[in-house]
Amino acid sequence: MKFLFAELDEADVLALPSCESTARSWCDPSQYDEVVGLDFGCNSVHYYMARSGKRGHMKFKSLLSWLLRLPSNVLVVCESAHLGVPQSELSLAQPFTAEQLLRLYDQLRSRGVTLKLAPHAHTGKRMRLWVAHNLPELMRDAKKSDATDALALAVYVDRCNAISLANPYKSFNRSARREFGRKVTKRSNAVLNAERTNDYSGDFYPLIMKLSRKVRRCDSFPSLKFVVTVASTLFSEHDCKLVLFTNRGQPPGRWFWMRDVLRMSPWHHRGGTARSNLMWHTFKPYLQKSAKRSGLNVKHGNKYIKFAVHDFNQNAARTSAMKSFRQLLLRCRDLCLEQADRMGAGHLELTVSANEVADGR
C-alpha cells in the first residue's frame, strides 16, 4: 500500500501548527503524552502516533495485546465503527465480540490508557481533509487509505479536536431514545419523500402541509420545506387525523428531539431525509447569508467551501450561524406544537419496548 504522507522526524512533528486550543468537553489531548490513531482494513490495523510520528500496522489478532502494552497517559482514537461495534450474526466482519470489547475497555482504563471513539462519517469529510489542507508537509493529499485515516484521526484530534468524541460503551444494548428517534425518522422519511415529488403540495399529507403553511406565516423561516421538515419529525397522519409522536405519553423534549430525532451532532449516522434537508439544503445557504452580513464569504464560485478548510473567521461565522440556526429550529418546533394543539392533534405512541432495546440489533 502506498503511503500518502511525508517522512518527518520527531522535531518536525512536534513543530507542526495546531488550533489555538484543543481542550474540549470530550477530552483535552494536550494532557496526554501521546495521541494514537487507529484504522482497520484488509484484516489489519494501521496506527499512527501524533507526537512521535511513529506508524505501522498489524493483524487484527495482535491489536488487543498491542493496546494493552501502551504506557499510561496515552489517548487512543478509533472510529466507532471499528472499536465500538461488536461482532454479531449481522456483522460477522467485525473482528471482536461484545465480551472482548467490554473487557478491553476495562483493561485500558485500569492501565491509564484513554480510548475515545470517533464518528466514522467525519474521518474523511473533515479530519483527513483538515490535515491535508493545514499540514501538507505531513499529508500530501486527502486520498483515503487505512494508513492516512489512522494519521488523520491522531493528528486532527491532537491539533484541532473540533469533532466530538465518545467514550467506550458501558453495554451494547440499544438506547431507547435512539430507537424512538429511528422510528420517527422512518415516518418522517415517508412524509418528505412523498411530498417532495409534487413540490410539497399536500397531495399525500394534507394536514401536515396545512399546519406547516400556518406556522410559516408566523415567522421568517427559510422556506416551507424547512417547516415541513421540522413538522415531519413531530407528526404524522392516521385515519385522516393529525397525530403527534409521543414517548410515554409526551412529545420528546427539546434536547431529546434535537439530539436523538434530528441527530444534530457529528454522530448523525442514518439521520434520514429530514437531517439532509436541514443541514445540507438549508444550513449552507443560511450560513452564506449570515456570513455575508459580516463581510465574509463561505463559497468559492458556485460551490460551498468545505468546513474542514474554513479559516479562523469562517469558523467563527459558522459557529455563530449554527447557534442561531438551532434556535430557529427550536422556535419552529414550538410553533408547530402550538398549532397542532389548536388543530386538535391526537397522539401516536412510539415508546420503545424493553425487548426492542435489548435485542442488540
Q: What is the pLDDT of residues 76-100, one digit of tens each?
A: 999 998 999 998 887 777 889 999 9
The pLDDT of residue 238 is: 94
What is the CATH classification number for the domain harbouring 112? 3.30.420
pTM confidence score: 0.84
180 touches 352 (CB < 8 A): yes
Longest dimension (CA), the chain: 69
The pLDDT of residue 2 is: 29
Q: Same domain for 191 and 305? A: yes
Q: Same domain for 49 and 76? A: yes
Rounded to the nearest 10 degrees, the angle between the axes of helix 224-232 and helix 312-342 is: 70
SS3 204: coil
Which range among 68-82, 111-125, 185-199 shows the weakest confidence by mean pLDDT?
111-125
Provide the domain limits for residue 180: 176-358
Q: What does pLDDT average to over the chain?
A: 89
Q: Does residue 118 sit within a domain?
A: yes
Total domains present in the chain:
2
Q: Same domain for 217 and 291? A: yes
Last residue of a domain, one of 102, 131, 159: 159
SS3 187: helix
Return the C-alpha cell found at 257.
428531539
- Beta carbons within 8 Å of 329's beta carbon, 6+ residues apart: 230, 258, 262, 264, 278
Nearest alpha carbon to residue 77 among 102, 55, 42, 49: 49
82 touches 38 (CB < 8 A): yes
Q: Same domain for 132 and 271? A: no
The band of 157, judged by pLDDT with boundaries at 50, 70 and 90, is: very high
304 touches 288 (CB < 8 A): yes
pLDDT exceeds cutoff 70 at 31: yes
Q: Does residue 116 sit within a domain?
A: yes
pLDDT exceeds cutoff 90 at 143: no
Q: What is the pLDDT of residues 189-236, one digit of tens each?
A: 999 999 999 999 999 999 999 999 999 999 889 999 999 999 999 999
Nearest alpha carbon to residue 295 among 309, 322, 313: 313
Q: What is the pLDDT of residues 52-64, one digit of tens each?
A: 999 999 999 999 9
Looking at this protein, which amino acid is placed at residue 48?
Y
